[in-house]
Amino acid sequence: MPPRITQFVLKFLDKLALLCGQPNHLPAHQRTGRRGEEDAYFHLRRLGYIIVARNYRSPRRRGELDLVAWDGDDLCFIEVKTRTSHAVKPAEAAVDHAKQRELAAMAHEYQRQARISASHRFEILSIYYEGLAAPKFELFKNTRPMS
């Protein structure tokens, strides 16, 4: 099924669940984050990325990889940051030193478990939902997590 149709169907089902009274106990910021990760998936697919993992976790490490994708011959570990405003600080600024170390360790764990030794890079995808406008995406390629 083409990505735009899949995305439309998923959004329709989410709205239907709300109308049917399915309770959503998540705080607003977590709902925004989930929405951002969902939109990030489809945005990256439109850019030609091949998504191979979403919300990857390992029992051996603390943390999570939001998205893992192939972009050509490069394996990309993508951190998604979602905000409803530019007012405070840029979304990508939330990827501090500790988060960078966590991402690097999780990426190493993913490669170990998947037995992949391809070249890789780290990326940050910032998504802004401001008002009723379409989301704005900013992709930062080749960011350098600390080890």
Residue with tokens 């011959």: 73
Q: Which of 116, 104, 114, 34 is nearest to 63 (CA)?
A: 104
Calculate the CA 87 to chain-centre distance. 21
Per-residue pLDDT for 58 more than 70? yes
Strand extents, DSSP E, 57-98: 65-71, 74-83
Mean pLDDT of 81-90: 84
Q: Give me the pLDDT at residue 28, please.
A: 75
Per-residue pLDDT for 38 more than 80? yes
Residue 62: band (very low, low, confident or very high) from pLDDT cuts 50, 70, 90: confident
Residue-number span of the structural domain to which 45 is assigned = 3-143
Return left, alpha or beta for 131; rule: phi > 0 is left, psi -120 to 50 is alpha, else beta: left
**pTM summary value:** 0.80
Mean pLDDT of 86-94: 81
Domain count, the chain: 1
Q: Give me the pLDDT at residue 3, please.
A: 66
CATH at 134: 3.40.1350.10
Identify the bridge partners of residue 77 per DSSP, sorted by sequence position.
68, 122
Determine what percent of the chain is predicted with pLDDT higher than 70.
84
